[in-house]
Structures are given as C-alpha cells and as structure tokens.
Amino acid sequence: MNVSPVAYRYARSLMELAREKGQLQGVNEDMRLVADACAASGDLRMLLKSPVIKADKKDKVLDQVFAGKIGEATNRFMGILVRKGREAMLPEIAVAFNELYKEDQGILTAEVTSAVPLGDSARQQVRDLAAKKHPGKSIQLSEKVDPALIGGLVIRIGDEQFDGSVSRRLHDLRRKFSENPYIPEI
C-alpha cells in the first residue's frame, strides 16, 4: 500500500499521544487491528470513502465495529478523523502507524518469498543473514510461497533485495545467450 505523507503526519501525532499516555504498545495493537479490518472488509473501506454517508453515521459504525476491541485513545483519534473529514485515510494511517512503531522499536521486517514453505533451519539462516546485515535490529519474518520461483529465495529487507531464485538465474542465462558475441556490432 502506498502511504501518503499526510497519513504519516496523523500517525506520528497518534504515536506522540500514545507515548505521552504510556499506551504505545496498546495503540499499536489497536492500529494493527484497524489495518487488518480495513484490508479484509471492502465494505468498511467503501463506507469510509463514501461522500454520501454522513460523518455521525460513520462514527457510529466505527464504534460498533471496534466496540470493546480498541482502547479509548484510538477510539477518540478515529472520532477526530471522522469529524475532520479524514476517515477515508484511516487504513493508510493504520499502516503508517505500524511502520513508524516498528522503526521506533528497532524492528525490521524481512519479506521472504520461496518456492516451497521454509523449514526452521532456513528461517534461522535468513534471520542470521538479516541480523548480520543490520546489527542491533530485531528481525521479523514475513513469508510468502510463490511456485513460479522454481527454487531458491527472494529476500527483501527495506530497500534491499537479494534474489537467489532459480527463475532469476534462468532469466539471466536467457539474456546472456541472447547476446551473440559472434555477430559484430555495427
């Protein structure tokens, strides 16, 4: 998800509020729940984006959906978003908050894509590689299975990507064979 700078501003404000109240961990769990709910429910996203539905109705729906599941600070924050007409940004703000929280806590997410599910030893090797590359950070794995890789792994940590997949090697070989050294270039 592409997160706008405005969403990061709101997320930073919520983070500062949570830190002041000593509820940073709880608000992070709340925002993770909000992000998951918004990602899972297209109807909820449509409701938040709808210009036809009045703000008080949106506020009531959000109260019912998240009643008893989120803390008071998060609930008040969502109420402010609705009053300010920024409720459509709630999914983005939740994602931005989770990213900022991970950065604040020194947690790095390593996205691992493999052709088959990883075993315990392979998981540990990926963690060790990431820890060696980024010392002092706590490593969290996010695993995906993509049979199109044929074999090997693709590891993405932040902006860095390590592609050790068989499909990538085959692609490189095709490109190398397409370069015919026996035909002189004019």
- Note the pLDDT tens digit of each residue in 88-111: 999 999 999 999 999 999 999 999
Q: How confident is the model at residue 177 (pLDDT cuts 50, 70, 90)?
A: confident
- Percent of the chain residues topping a pLDDT of 90: 89
- Compute the residue count for the chain: 186
Q: What is the pTM of this model?
A: 0.78
Rounded to a whole number of angstroms, the CA Rg of the chain reads 22
- What's the CATH number of domain 106-178, 3.30.70, 3.30.420, 2.60.290, 3.40.30? 3.40.30
Statement: residue 186 has pLDDT above 90: no
Q: What is the CATH number of domain 5-103?
A: 1.10.520.20
At 18-67, the pLDDT tens digits run: 999 999 999 999 999 999 999 999 999 999 999 999 999 999 999 999 99
Q: What does the alpha-carbon distance between residue 68 and residue 75 come to, in Å, rounded to a whole number?
A: 10
Domain boundaries, the chain: 5-103, 106-178
Q: What does the alpha-carbon distance between residue 128 and residue 142 come to, in Å, rounded to a whole number?
A: 15
Query: What is the pLDDT, as a whole number, of residue 179?
Result: 81
Q: Which of 27, 43, 137 is nearest to 93 (CA)?
A: 27
| Mean per-residue pLDDT over the chain, rounded | 93
Statement: residue 1 has pLDDT above 80: no
- Cα angle 102, 104, 107; round to 5: 40
